[in-house]
């Protein structure tokens, strides 16, 4: 089975620039391809997950990936899917994020010598001469075609419009592909379907400028059965960095997805054989919980490693299945000096809530429980008498998020 058959069977593929040629190419040859990641934060998030899985499937099939980190394009920011211009990021912030991305991507991709290439487009974009760029690259772009691109059309219809600054992003991304083609023999770009216009621009630039074959394929975006993007919670994005989203919270996110999304997520986000994916996806009613546990465990293992996945699974079972081992429930240490201070302050400082206003709303809506009692007063203080004989107390946020406060 060719890798394209695997990608198709698992539901990754959305659009292909030259479908017949791509199918023949991937069934007969080993190619160099790339996927770009703009370092706009210090962690990848669930939205990047599918692209990483596609890259991993391609590498497992013998194709060579280029991980392109956007140290240059991150200075501008992709307008695709954005209602307003992105905040300008400092070079220091971008460089820090680039290093964070490398560590996270290495969990999915073998970055050892000869197996993959890690490149940073800052190496060529930041030193470009503007007039030379216009003469050698800009001449191949039609403004009419660019304006017809979906990412630009949506912005132009809005009051704030589109800045010339952002208008250049498509040209920069196309030039990335052209550079990687020249430097490494890269002939294919992969990425999310929201990148289609930018990716086609790169394919056309190589074909026009060098009269050589180039291709692109887009993957589906991670959406639920209602068409909404997955990977968001009340507290914000679901991150792949354990310091931003704990392995337990990460596990719980997948454990609690809708029944209708289980089979798709098993196919897209795990390496389980498709026969097993279909078996699990066919489970009904309460039996579907078996599939959700498998999904949560497999996805957490991929991102955080087997040990953290086992801990998260054990913690969830202790809370929901009557188990006794509470050691793996996310733990917050409380010092004696913090006693008799605001519960909201302690929980917000330890990232149970993203803000005090979220904490207040949760209490007002009856969504915070301390021990076996619902917290009803916003001014509740954490006192010594609340802790049990083992100097701990369980905090429940909403219906399914648990934390253990331990007095030191």
Residue with tokens 């929901």: 320
Burial category of 171 from C-beta neighbours within 10 Å (exposed 0-12, middle 13-18, buried 19 and up): buried
Residue 245: its H or E element: none
Give yes or no: 229 in active site: yes
What is the Cβ-side half-sphere exposure of residue 109, based on CA atoms within 13 angstroms? Answer: 31
Catalytic residue among 59, 73, 104, 173: 173
Give yes or no: 18 in active site: no
Distance between CA 239 and CA 246 in Å, rounded?
A: 9
Give yes or no: 232 in active site: yes
Give yes or no: 86 in active site: yes
> Three-state SS for 232?
strand
What is the Cβ-side half-sphere exposure of residue 225, based on CA atoms within 13 angstroms? Answer: 8
Give the strands of the sheet with 368-370, arranged side by side: 331-334, 401-407, 392-397, 368-370, 373-374
Catalytic residue among 15, 154, 233, 341: 233
Residue 312: its H or E element: helix 306-320
For residue 228, what is the DSSP state?
P
Catalytic residue among 115, 145, 229, 391: 229
Contact 241, 68 (CB under 8 A): no
Catalytic residue among 18, 23, 63, 82: 82
Give yes or no: 304 in active site: no
Contact 31, 187 (CB under 8 A): yes
Catalytic residue among 107, 232, 244, 279: 232
SS3 annotation, 31-98: CEEEEEECCCCCCCEHHHHHHHHHHHHHHHCCCEEEEEECCCHHHCCCCCCCCCCCCCCCHHHHHHHH
Catalytic residue among 86, 102, 351, 360: 86
Residue with tokens 């490149």: 119
Give yes or no: 102 in active site: no
Catalytic residue among 14, 23, 45, 57: 45
Give yes or no: 48 in active site: yes
DSSP notation for 107-158: TTS--STTT-EEEETHHHHTT--HHHHHHHTGGG--HHHHHHSHHHHHHHTS
Task: Report, in angstroms and rounded to the nearest whole number, the Rg of the chain calculated over CA atoms.
Answer: 24
Contact 179, 128 (CB under 8 A): no
Instruction: Indicate which residues carry an active-site annotation.
Output: 40, 45, 48, 82, 86, 173, 194, 229, 232-233
């Amino acid at each position: 089975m060719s890798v394209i058959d695997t990608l198709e069977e698992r539901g990754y593929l959305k659009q292909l620039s030259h479908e017949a040629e791509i199918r023949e190419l991937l069934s007969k040859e080993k190619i160099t391809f790339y996927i770009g990641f703009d370092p706009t934060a210090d962690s990848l998030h669930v939205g990047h997950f599918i692209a990483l899985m596609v890259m991993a499937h391609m590498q497992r099939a013998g194709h060579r990936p280029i991980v392109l980190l956007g140290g240059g394009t991150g200075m501008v920011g992709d307008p695709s899917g954005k209602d307003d211009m992105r905040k300008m990021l400092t070079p220091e912030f971008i460089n820090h994020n680039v290093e964070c991305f490398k560590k996270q991507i290495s969990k999915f991709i073998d970055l050892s010598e000869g197996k993959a290439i890690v490149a940073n487009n800052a190496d060529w974009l930041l030193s470009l001469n503007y007039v030379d760029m216009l003469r050698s690259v800009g001449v191949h772009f039609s403004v009419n075609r660019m304006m017809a691109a979906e990412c630009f059309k949506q912005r132009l219809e809005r009051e704030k419009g589109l800045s010339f600054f952002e208008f250049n992003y498509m040209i920069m991304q196309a030039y990335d592909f052209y550079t990687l083609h020249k430097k490494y023999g890269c002939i294919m770009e992969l990425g999310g379907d929201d990148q289609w216009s930018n990716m086609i621009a790169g394919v056309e630039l190589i074909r026009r400028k060098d009269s050589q074959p180039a291709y692109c394929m887009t993957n589906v975006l991670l959406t639920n059965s209602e068409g909404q993007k997955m990977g968001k919670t009340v507290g914000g994005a679901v991150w792949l960095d354990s310091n931003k989203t704990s392995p337990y919270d990460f596990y719980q996110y997948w454990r609690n997805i809708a029944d209708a999304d289980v089979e798709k997520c098993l196919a897209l986000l795990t390496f389980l054989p498709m026969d097993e994916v279909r078996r699990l996806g066919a489970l009904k009613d309460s039996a579907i919980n078996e599939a959700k546990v498998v999904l949560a465990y497999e996805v957490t293992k991929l991102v955080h490693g087997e040990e953290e996945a086992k801990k998260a699974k054990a913690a969830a079972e202790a809370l929901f299945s009557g188990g006794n081992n509470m050691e793996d429930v996310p733990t917050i240490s409380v010092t004696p000096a913090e006693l008799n201070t605001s519960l909201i302050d302690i929980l917000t400082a330890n990232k149970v809530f993203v803000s005090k206003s979220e904490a207040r709303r949760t209490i007002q809506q009856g969504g915070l429980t301390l021990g076996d009692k619902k917290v009803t007063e916003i001014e509740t203080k954490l006192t010594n008498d609340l802790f049990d004989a083992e100097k701990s107390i369980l905090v429940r946020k909403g219906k399914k998020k648990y934390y253990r406060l331990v007095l030191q």
